[in-house]
Amino acid sequence: MGDNRKIEMPKFTWWDWFLILGFISASLAVSILKGEFSTLSFIAGTCSILCVIFGAKGNMLNFLFGLVGSIILGYIMFGTGVVGMAVFYLLYNAPMQIVGWFKWKQRRLSPDSVVIKTRWMSWGQRILMIISTLLLGTVMYFVLKEVPHEDQPLSDAAAVAVAAVTQFVLVFAFIEQWFLWIVLDIVMSIVWIVAWQAGKPHAAIQLILQLFYLINAFRGVYLWSKLEKK
C-alpha cells in the first residue's frame, strides 16, 4: 500500500504577509529614491524574510531559505568591509543550515510534520551560553582588528559571536535563541547604519531587512513558547 500521509504545511498569517510585503515595499521605495536596484540584496532579503517566518513557526523549511540567503549575504558583506560576518555566513552559517535540517528532523511533532518541539534551557546552559558569547566576541575582536579592509572590528566581532552562538542554540531548538536574535538584530542594525553612512552598496536594503528581523524576533519568542507547551 502507498503512503498517503500529507506533509503538514503552515499557513501564512497576516503577520507573515506584513513582513513579506513590508520588506518588498520598503526595498522598492529605497531603490527608487537611490535610483538603483540591487538584485542580490533583494533576493537575499526575500530568502531571509522567509527563513525567519518559517523559523518563528518552528518549521524546518526555514533552513532551505537560510542556506540560499547565507551564501548571498556572505558575498555581499565582503563588498561592504564587514569581513568577519562574511566569513561567518559562508563558512559557518551556511553549513549549519544543513546540520539544522537534520537535527530538527529528529524533533518533529510527528513523522508527517515539518514543525518541531521546542524547549527552554536550564540556568546552567544559559550561563554557559552567555560566557561563550563573551569569550568568542573578545577573541574575534582581536582577530578582526588585524584584518585588512575590516571597517568595523568591534561591532563585527560582537555580531559574529552572537550569531555563531545563536545559530548553535537554534539548531538544538532552544527558545532562548530568540533573545539572542534580538541582540544580534540590534548590533547588525548598527553595522548597516555605519555602512549606509559610508555609502556602502546594499547597506540601505540590509538595514531595512534587519529592522524586520528585529520585529519578528519578538514574535518568535511568543510562538516558540506556545510550541513548547504542546
Cα–Cα distances in angstroms (integers) from residue 45 to residues 20, 71, 205, 213, in the given order: 10, 12, 8, 10
> Which tens digit of pLDDT belongs to each residue from 77-96?
887 777 887 888 899 989 99
What pLDDT sits at residue 102? 92
pLDDT at 38 over 80: no
What pLDDT sits at residue 201? 67
What pLDDT sits at residue 211? 86
Lowest mean pLDDT among 49-58, 93-102, 150-159: 150-159
> pLDDT band at residue 39, thresholds of 50, 70 and 90?
confident
Residue 108 pairs with which residues in a beta bridge?
A: 116
What pLDDT sits at residue 5? 45
**CA quadruple 144, 42, 208, 135: dihedral sign:** negative
Name the residue with cell 528581523. Answer: 213
pLDDT at 4 over 60: no
Instruction: Output the pTM of the full model.
Output: 0.80
Name the residue with cell 563558512. Answer: 91
Cα–Cα distances in angstroms (integers) from residue 191 to residues 137, 157, 200, in the given order: 15, 11, 11
Residues 182, 97, 46, CA angle at the centre, nearest 5°? 65
The mean pLDDT of 130-138, rounded to a whole number, is 95
The mean pLDDT of 170-195, rounded to a whole number, is 90
d(CA 217, CA 224): 10
pLDDT at 97 over 90: yes
d(CA 150, CA 43): 25
The mean pLDDT of 155-164, rounded to a whole number, is 88
The mean pLDDT of 216-228, rounded to a whole number, is 86
Q: According to DSSP H, which parts of 93-172 are helical? A: 94-105, 123-144, 153-171
**54 in Cβ contact with 68 (< 8 Å):** no
- Of the candidates 69, 30, 77, which has an alpha carbon nearest to the alpha carbon of residue 52? 69
**220 in Cβ contact with 181 (< 8 Å):** yes
Any residues with CB less than 8 A from the CB of 124 and at least 6 apart, and which? none
What pLDDT sits at residue 203? 77
